[in-house]
Amino acid sequence: MFTDMLGWKLPATVQFDGVSQRSALEQNQHVRSEIFCHFPHGSSAQDYEGMPAPSSAAPASSVRLGDWKLIRFFCDRADQTDRHELFNLAADPGEAHDVAAAHPDRVKQLAARLDTLLRETSAVIPSPNPAYLAGATKRSKQVSAPKKP
Model pLDDT, residue 114: 96
Domain with CATH 3.30.1120.10 in the chain: 33-46+54-126
Coil, helix or strand at residue 62: strand
Beta bridge partners, 88, equal 68
Model pLDDT, residue 138: 54
Determine the topology of domain 33-46+54-126 in CATH.
Arylsulfatase, C-terminal domain (3.30.1120)
For 5-23, write each residue's pLDDT tens digit. 788 887 888 776 667 777 7
Model pLDDT, residue 132: 73
Confidence of residue 130 (pLDDT cuts 50, 70, 90): confident
CA–CA separation, 47 vs 51, rounded Å?
Answer: 6
- Taking Cα atoms as reference points, which of 86, 89, 90 lies closest to residue 72? 86
List, in order, residues 6 or more apart from 5 with CB less than 8 Å away. 20, 22, 25, 26
Rounded to two decimals, what is the model's pTM?
0.67
